[in-house]
Amino acid sequence: MNKSRNFTSRVSIGRIGAALGMAALVVSGMSATAPASGNPQNQLQQLVDESEITKLTYCYAAATDAVGAGRLLVAKAMYAQCFTPDAVLEVYSPGVDRNGPPSLSGSPDDWADVALNEFTNGGYVSTQHLNGNVRVTVHGNTARMSTYLLATHVVDPAGAVEIANGTYEDVVVRTPQGWRISKRTLILSTYYRVESP
């Protein structure tokens, strides 16, 4: 019994230590991406802005996965929290010239339907969009955000998935409701199918 409690305590302490370590890395990583100048209040505001902006890319991923789970109304409400009402969303498939028209485009109002159409045509039963290497640069009331994407689209839970890799390039603006994405461009570098043996 004592061994079990001791193990549980070590696991809990280990998790707390890991969480604190990750928090320190996140904070140091955020401040390293775009050093804030001036007084500590400006530096704190920069960290708050970067944190709020970063949450937008995770909001988008969760909304898109809500589409993949068939929760269209939830997805639409979440997209409204990510974007300005007049935002532009564009997707460039692998090999498509970025100086030409995008492979897909839309507005926040219709993006859930655009995603649902793509997911239905692809035969996806679920999706998982993972974001990483988020870089934010704030300039007053505007910002730029770049985010790596790894998206898994499940065709057959027993063995077939389609994997997308790419980069989101965003223009973000401060609004009375908080930070919102005003333009999101996804540049896909790869899109491939993996079959289980």
CATH of the domain at 174: 3.10.450.50
> 126 and 157: one domain?
yes
pLDDT for residue 42: 86
> 19 and 43: one domain?
no
Asked whether the beta carbons of 46 and 33 are under 8 A apart, the reply is no
- Region for residue 133 given its phi and psi (left: phi exceeds 0; alpha: psi -120 to 50; beta: otherwise): left
Domain containing residue 14 = 1-33
pLDDT for residue 36: 53
pLDDT for residue 197: 76
> 50 and 26: one domain?
no
> 42 and 14: one domain?
no
Contact partners, residue 93, CB within 8 Å, separation at least 6: 103, 188, 191
Residues with pLDDT less than 50, the chain:
1-34
> 43 and 23: one domain?
no
The number of domains in the chain is 2
Asked whether the beta carbons of 182 and 173 are under 8 A apart, the reply is yes
> 68 and 12: one domain?
no
Question: CA–CA distance from 68 to each of 12, 120, 154 (Å)?
Answer: 34, 9, 9
> 54 and 143: one domain?
yes
pLDDT for residue 37: 60
Write down the residue that tokens 């898994």 correspond to. 152
pLDDT for residue 128: 96
> 142 and 191: one domain?
yes
The pTM (predicted TM-score) of the whole model is 0.78
